[in-house]
Amino acid sequence: MKKAALFVLILIFSVNLYAQQNIPAGFDLSNYGVKIEPDKRLMTVLATLEMARATTGEERALIKTPLSAQGALFRSRLQADMESVPEDLRRKISVFVEQHKKRHPKATDAEIIVPFISMAYTLSPVPDLADPAITNDLPGDLLDVLDFAPLVREFYRRSSFGAKINEYAKSYQATADANLRPSAKQMVSDLLNYLHTRPQIYYSEKVKVEAQKSKSKKTTLQNVEIRDRERRFFIVPEMLAPVGNISFVNISDDYFAIVSPETDLSSSEVRRAYLQFVIDPLVLNNAKDISAFRPAIKQILDEQRTKNPGISPDVYLAISRSLVAAADARQTEFEKVRIATAQARQNIERQKTDADKRVVSAGLEKFKREAADETALQLSEAYQNGAVLSFYFADQFKGLEDSGFDVASSLRDMILSFDAAKETSRFEQYAEAGKRAEERRKSPVAKTINAAVENPVTNRLIEIQKTIETKNYAQAAALLNQLLAGNPTDPRIFYNVGRVASLSAETIEDSDLRQQKLQEAQAAYSNVIRHATPATDKALLSLTYVALARIYEFYDDNAYAIKLYDEAIKLSEIAGGAYREALAGKEKLIKNQ
């Protein structure tokens, strides 16, 4: 049982680290409705907020949202650039922000700026930043901050921000292209491959137009024209966006996801936003078929609204949210199980006895059960928040996973197969599975896993892994060195520095440059051993000894290479280690002596 538990733990880490699919060459996000670009309106609004200072007592910033490392650097740069902001303007900004915070005493700074982000998208483009023509239908929290817009315009006009905004935007774009674009491609590829579809980028609508009848000034003719509307999904990199927070704004056919520039999109809430972008037109296209089931669905929805009055009564919204929740949960489980199964097969082939093979197989089955429980919990949470058909659509998606059918062409059949009677007990049916997953989240093992996954260094290494997989070794090395500067004794970072240097050496034809890269790798691997502690992962040490041995072998220092192979062998066969590679390497060198 201990071996099985260890295997499950390894699988969880492996899925997080290596759940990457090959993206086709020439994969262009714009073909799938996605644009990654900063928004100058938002940049100006958040920069204006950064100017606010306490008006009494010790001078301090009123907005102190937690930022990414790059965001924190930009904040310092912005404050230095804006030192000459007129004092009267800074005071007006400060008074507004101070009063707003007093009206929301329990809100964090990250929560405080949310309505300001929405307000930015009601303004016209820079430099005008004009107010919206119609404000009656704006939500209350947004109206509460709309009076901040004149201060935003004044800040743009009277400070140097307007003169520097293009320079800032260029910096934002470069950061987004390096950090966000790879994971955006992964996210879009993963979701669309699972749904076997392409998003509807253009939507046709019939519009009535009037034309004056010839030779008549009063008589008009009504015609119907077909007009295409472009639908776009914007990923907006924002240095001043709180790290870990993602804001969504939907304006007509445009969807905006505002993220910190170091966000891993492939495992973030942006997934659901993009699913919403893909699914919304499909629901609209099938509105006529949905209408036949509207009373039955409304009854299920109304019952849930008695428990949670904040749920929208809109049946079409409930269906859209249910489809999004189901696709998100099922795709995650499907991908995890697919990778775990492939890894288990490889692991079984390496085992020497049937007993060991059965341990691996049992670990895989346990992993599958726990993944199914986690899906049930996610669907239950969505159900309680109004996605009352999430279980139903999850079953439908499960049936499509291996068929290759396009969800766009299958949705009508999904809807027509709906049986309201079966859905009334869905939540209770999966209650036990949800409870198991909830208990597992609280368990010491789960806490250990979550702590490791949520560890900032681990998260950053996972992000950098994507850069390594694109073979952009120069960028990966730069990111690792930046991470190392803040964590100068972490063996994991040194190991990855060595690995990237080794991979770079394989691509270099110039012998002197190759030699230089191998020396970098040698130094980094040596630092893994130098900074190792009793708590250091033994598998990491095993891999390091073998990698270092191969470098010494390349230098024809076979005696020292054998000593390093021996160190890996002493660690015995550890899951994820390089025990067998060490045995084979040592055996080869001894034969050649």
Domain end (from 135, 170, 205): 170
Same domain, 290 and 437: yes
Strand order in the sheet with 34-36: 34-36, 232-237, 254-259, 247-251
Q: Is 209 part of any domain?
A: no
Q: How far apart are CA 422 and CA 389, in angstroms?
A: 11
Spell out the residues 6+ positions from residue 397 whose beta carbon is closer than 8 angstroms to its own.
Answer: 326, 327, 330, 331, 407
Q: Are strands 254-259 and 232-237 parallel, antiparallel or unpaired?
A: parallel
Q: Is 341 part of any domain?
A: yes
Q: How far apart are CA 187 and CA 264, in angstroms?
A: 9
Which helix H or strand E contains 222, and what residues bound it? strand 220-230
DSSP assigned state of 61: B
Same domain, 144 and 10: no
Same domain, 8 and 95: no
Closest CA to 347 of 82, 175, 580: 580
Cis peptide before 182 (omega within 30 of 0): no
Number of domains the chain is built from = 2
Q: How far apart are CA 536 and CA 172, in angstroms?
A: 37
Which helix H or strand E contains 204, and what residues bound it? strand 202-212
557 neighbors 535 (Cβ within 8 angstroms): no
Same domain, 304 and 437: yes
Same domain, 11 and 114: no
Backbone conformation region of residue 314, classed left if phi is above 0, alpha if psi is from -120 to 50, else beta: beta
Q: Is 188 part of any domain?
A: no
Q: Is 206 part of any domain?
A: no
Phi, psi of 544 (to 5 degrees): -65, -45
What pLDDT score was predicted for residue 216? 58
Question: Which domain, by its residues, includes 14?
Answer: 2-23+284-441
pTM of the entire structure? Answer: 0.72
Closest CA to 500 of 529, 482, 526, 478: 478
Task: Please name the residue ranges forming H helices in 196-313.
Answer: 270-285, 287-305
Same domain, 44 and 162: yes
Q: Is 9 part of any domain?
A: yes
Same domain, 13 and 139: no
What pLDDT score was predicted for residue 536? 81
Give the 3-state secondary structure of residue 270.
helix
Same domain, 65 and 119: yes
Output the tens digit of pLDDT for each of the chain's 593 residues: 444 444 444 444 444 444 444 566 678 999 999 999 999 999 999 999 999 999 888 889 999 998 887 898 999 999 999 999 999 999 999 999 999 999 999 999 999 999 999 999 999 999 999 998 776 667 777 888 999 999 999 999 999 999 999 999 999 999 999 889 988 998 999 999 999 999 999 987 777 777 665 555 566 667 777 878 899 999 999 999 998 889 999 998 999 999 998 787 877 889 999 999 999 999 999 999 999 999 999 999 999 999 999 999 999 999 999 999 999 999 999 988 887 787 788 778 877 888 888 888 888 898 899 899 999 999 999 999 999 999 999 999 998 887 888 999 999 999 999 988 888 888 899 999 999 988 877 764 454 444 444 456 776 787 788 788 788 888 888 889 888 887 788 888 999 999 999 888 888 888 888 888 888 899 899 889 888 887 788 888 999 999 999 988 888 888 888 999 999 888 887 767 788 888 888 888 887 76
Residue count (the chain): 593
Same domain, 7 and 128: no
Q: How far apart are CA 5 and CA 520, in angstroms?
A: 37
Q: Is 392 part of any domain?
A: yes
Phi, psi of 223 (to 5 degrees): -120, 160
What pLDDT score was predicted for residue 481? 86
Phi, psi of 34 (to 5 degrees): -100, 130
What pLDDT score was predicted for residue 211? 66
CA angle 566, 571, 572 (to 5 degrees): 95
Same domain, 86 and 159: yes
Same domain, 339 and 380: yes
CA dihedral 147, 153, 158, 160 (to 10 degrees): 120
Task: Please name the residue ranges forming H helices in 385-423.
Answer: 390-400, 407-416, 420-423
Q: How far apart are CA 332 and CA 288, in angstroms?
A: 31
Same domain, 67 and 11: no
Q: Is 319 part of any domain?
A: yes
54 neighbors 60 (Cβ within 8 angstroms): yes
What pLDDT score was predicted for residue 8? 43
Domain end (from 402, 423, 441): 441
Domain end (from 170, 193, 214): 170
Q: Is 457 part of any domain?
A: no
Beta bridge partners of 223: 209
